[in-house]
Chain A
Amino acid sequence: MEMLSGAEMVVRALQDEGVEYIFGYPGGAVLHIYDALFQQDTVNHILVRHEQAATHAADGYARSTGKPGVVLVTSGPGATNAITGIATAFMDSIPMVVLSGQVRSDWIGDDAFQETDMVGLSRPIVKHSFMVRDPRQIPEMIKKAFYIANTGRPGPVLVDIPKDHTAPHNTFPYEYPKKVKMRSYAPVTRGHSGQIRKAVDELLKAKRPVLYAGGGVVQGEASQALTALARKLNFPVTNTLMGLGAYPGSDEQFLGMLGMHGTYEANMAMHNADVILVAGARLDDRVTNDARKFCPGAKIIHIDIDPASISKNVAAHIPIVGPVKQVLEEMLTMLDEQGEVGTDTKSLERWWQEIAGWRKVHGLRYETNEQGPMKPQQVVQALYKATKGEAYVTSDVGQHQMFAAQHYLYDRPRQWINSGGLGTMGFGLPAAMGVQFAHPDAVVACVTGEGSIQMNIQELSTCLQYGLPIKIININNQALGMVRQWQDMQYGGRHSQSYMESLPDFVKLAESYGHVGMLVEKLEDLDGAMEEAFALKDRLVFMDIYVDPTEHVYPMHIADGSMRDMWLSKTERT
């Protein structure tokens, strides 16, 4: 058998796992591994400028491909810098494998230089973690790490590797396990057919149904099945922030996003529904508003791979634990087998009429002003037009994120990439890097704000090094807009620390990093500037677009209310 050092085993295991990219940053504890990386060319290492960006880039890669993102960081500060990105991936169930260096094993516990208890620190934000105690464990641990990260409900897995276990002079026989067998880990592979049958019967009886799909449908590759089911039954569909793209955004049956900043029609339909099929979503507080007032008349059918997501916030009448794709497909088969679909078409017709009435209210409208400043919504709509709705869009966190969720219609799963669960400012640009690596020929836009972009702005340097032609759409409202909106609505307009002063000249900044910068201040220049930016196919373009700082995101749930309690503008509410 081949004899390899611990460091070589790490790299070989990544090769055997088919890893194309690893995002990382070197340091003392991982130098042996970096040396092994240097001596091969199958696994491409991407040098970021901050470890947080490594995790977000790996995350963007994972979200846009479905394959686990891989990260390599050194011990101590390298590892702690990765924490935010690990937590971001954990909250959104993104498959990721993080390799962190550790001080040599005989120094652990002695407060050695750059020692941090990374297994302990990351424990609440990983699906699982391993600490290498013997170099011989490396192949199996890495195999298990990938397996755990990417099966069941996906999530980040950490492998902490003390430096001495990667030492080049100690070699061991290397064999990469073909299969993983773990007696303590067996993710469900099928939903319970009896439950699925019950759910189908309930759906067929429904008079006012809604299909509510979340990130699990995207992650679980169940978009086709969902779409087929919706079409077959002629039911309306709404997606969560994480689920956008799971059902085509431009389709007639799509009601838009639901929840805190969901559309009027989606939230009204939810509140008035008699049967709600929740697929791969977790009824979280940004969706339900006050869970006790949530959809009072609805029977809830809840499909999720994670039993702990079911009946956590809202009790399910028909729980189905299983992979959402398999469960939806089984529903389709049951419907096919009975020939005629058999829904209550009369009631459905009335339901669609009611929905059409809500659609007329048009909760996404906003006021424009030819003379005044541009509106952020107009920027997203211009982006949609310039990219023909086909770009991968990553976003940061804030008002711009909500506008990008509302006004860009995502027709494909994995097209919309944002930090939904943790809401991590600084996610957008590094995530876009990961997406661009995975899809070198695709158009990738990062919708951001002048607050968020400054949280990982250093990655402009990484983008130059690897020639990533990302388009940064900086919706510049000169404010931490989302914070400011809450202060307007709940704190008497006292803008405590939400004003972004002393902004850099982003155009010059982009140029100093070797990219193209563009300033857009007038609406009449917007479309032209977008065309120009997207025509620069092999350059990163930073579009700094000044918009109205006073704009708010609507609709917005009224706190502690039900799904139907919303502000529709600064003055109108339901």
Chain B
Amino acid sequence: MRRIISILMENEPGALSRVVGLFSQRGYNIETLTVAPTEDETLSRLTMTTTGDEKKIEQITKHLNKLIEVVKLVDLTEGAHIEREIMLMKVKATGAQRAEVKRTVDIFRGQIVDVTATVYTVQLTGTTDKLEAFIAAIGETQVLEVVRSGVSGISRGEKVLSL
């Protein structure tokens, strides 16, 4: 089961290392992790994706909640939510490939943000599935470099994660 866990925590030095340490110490997976300050500078928002059976996920959320600096936590996958990840990618773009890559980028509603004679730099936003589908469509042999931000997420509707 893949889960997106979203955490509000005190924006203090060392807080992130406790979260990451917890995962290695207890043998949990982190697939993606993003963290940045929020509109309230005393708080950071951390989003992570992880996998595990129900029991493991329950332990993960309980242990995260126990960390003193964690103020609030939600498992976004428990309800309707929006998830986004941004990807920057360098793709070989020579000869006939140039037009083909451009078409694929358009289909996926990506943007070409930098160009050289042989390389396109593509920016694409979407769910993890969409980004993976894009990589598959371009063809791994064409891909020179991939940078992904990790998943960010927010719940749908009026529910907010705040103090």
Closest-CB distance, A128 to chain B (whole angstroms): 4
Partner-contacting stretch, out of B31-39, B55-63, B94-102, B111-119: B55-63
What is the CA–CA distance of A103 and B35 in the complex, to the nearest angstrom?
30
Quick check: A307 and B62 within 8 Å, CB to CB?
yes
What is the CA–CA distance of A128 and B17 in the complex, to the nearest angstrom?
12
Closest-CB distance, B132 to chain A (whole angstroms): 33
What is the CA–CA distance of A131 and B69 in the complex, to the nearest angstrom?
14
Q: Report if A306-B66 is in contact (Cβ < 8 Å); known contacts: A183-B71, A312-B59.
A: yes
CB < 8 Å: which of A119, A184, A306, A308 contacts B69?
A: A184
Tell me the B65-123 residues at the A interface (CB within 8 Å).
Answer: 65-66, 68-71
Residues of A within 8 A of B70 (CB): 184
- Is B27 located at the chain interface by the 8 A CB criterion? no
What is the CA–CA distance of A185 and B72 in the complex, to the nearest angstrom?
10
Q: Which residue of A lies closest to B58 (CB)?
A: A311
Residues of A within 8 A of B55 (CB): 311
Q: Which residue of B lies closest to A133 (CB)?
A: B13
Quick check: A123 and B18 within 8 Å, CB to CB?
yes
Quick check: B58 and A123 within 8 Å, CB to CB?
no
- Is A127 located at the chain interface by the 8 A CB criterion? yes
Closest-CB distance, B24 to chain A (whole angstroms): 9
Quick check: B62 and A308 within 8 Å, CB to CB?
yes
- Is A48 located at the chain interface by the 8 A CB criterion? no
Closest-CB distance, A95 to chain B (whole angstroms): 15
What is the CA–CA distance of A123 and B16 in the complex, to the nearest angstrom?
12
- Is B157 located at the chain interface by the 8 A CB criterion? no
CB < 8 Å: which of A127, A131, A306, A311 contacts B13?
A: A131
Quick check: A127 and B68 within 8 Å, CB to CB?
yes
Interface size bracket, A side: 10 to 19
What is the CA–CA distance of A308 and B57 in the complex, to the nearest angstrom?
11
- Is A492 located at the chain interface by the 8 A CB criterion? no
Interface size bracket, B side: 20 to 34
Residues of A within 8 A of B141 (CB): none
What is the CA–CA distance of A308 and B66 in the complex, to the nearest angstrom?
8
Quick check: A182 and B25 within 8 Å, CB to CB?
no
Closest-CB distance, A223 to chain B (whole angstroms): 26
Q: Which residue of A lies closest to B62 (CB)?
A: A308
Residues of A within 8 A of B14 (CB): 119, 129, 131
Residues of B within 8 A of A339 (CB): none
Q: Report if A123-B66 is in contact (Cβ < 8 Å); known contacts: A184-B9, A311-B55.
A: no
What is the CA–CA distance of A368 and B25 in the complex, to the nearest angstrom?
46
CB < 8 Å: which of B9, B17, B18, B59 contacts A308?
A: B59
Q: Report if A184-B10 is in contact (Cβ < 8 Å); known contacts: A123-B17, A127-B68.
A: yes
- Is A120 located at the chain interface by the 8 A CB criterion? yes
Q: Report if A183-B58 is in contact (Cβ < 8 Å); known contacts: A119-B14, A123-B21, A131-B14.
A: no
Closest-CB distance, A139 to chain B (whole angstroms): 18
- Is A148 located at the chain interface by the 8 A CB criterion? yes
- Is A173 located at the chain interface by the 8 A CB criterion? no
- Is B163 located at the chain interface by the 8 A CB criterion? yes
What is the CA–CA distance of A182 and B10 in the complex, to the nearest angstrom?
10
Query: CB-defined interface of A118-130 with B at 8 Å, one 1/0 digit per residue?
Result: 0110011001110
Quick check: A182 and B68 within 8 Å, CB to CB?
yes
Q: Which residue of A lies closest to B69 (CB)?
A: A184
What is the CA–CA distance of A307 and B9 in the complex, to the nearest angstrom?
19
Closest-CB distance, A499 to chain B (whole angstroms): 35
Tell me the B125-163 residues at the A interface (CB within 8 Å).
Answer: 163
Quick check: A185 and B68 within 8 Å, CB to CB?
yes
Residues of A within 8 A of B17 (CB): 120, 123
What is the CA–CA distance of A120 and B69 in the complex, to the nearest angstrom?
16
Tell me the A135-149 residues at the B interface (CB within 8 Å).
Answer: 148
Residues of A within 8 A of B58 (CB): 311
Quick check: B163 and A183 within 8 Å, CB to CB?
yes
Residues of B within 8 A of A308 (CB): 59, 62-63, 66
CB < 8 Å: which of B62, B63, B71 contacts A184?
A: B71
Residues of B within 8 A of A306 (CB): 66
Query: CB-defined interface of B1-32 with A at 8 Å, one 1/0 digit per residue?
Result: 00000000110011001100100010000000
Quick check: B68 and A148 within 8 Å, CB to CB?
yes
Residues of A within 8 A of B18 (CB): 123
Quick check: B68 and A128 within 8 Å, CB to CB?
yes
What is the CA–CA distance of A57 and B163 in the complex, to the nearest angstrom?
41
A-B contact pairs, 20 of them (CB 8 A): A119-B14, A123-B17, A123-B18, A123-B21, A124-B21, A129-B14, A131-B14, A133-B13, A148-B68, A182-B68, A183-B163, A184-B9, A184-B10, A184-B68, A185-B68, A306-B66, A308-B59, A308-B63, A311-B55, A312-B59
- B residues near A (Cβ < 8 Å) are 9-10, 13-14, 17-18, 21, 25, 55, 58-59, 62-63, 65-66, 68-71, 163
- Known pairs A123-B21, A308-B66; list 12 more (Cβ under 8 Å): A123-B17, A127-B68, A128-B68, A131-B13, A131-B14, A183-B71, A184-B69, A184-B71, A306-B66, A307-B65, A308-B59, A308-B62
9 smallest beta-carbon distances between A and B, as pairs: A308-B62, A184-B71, A128-B68, A124-B25, A307-B62, A185-B68, A123-B21, A308-B63, A184-B69
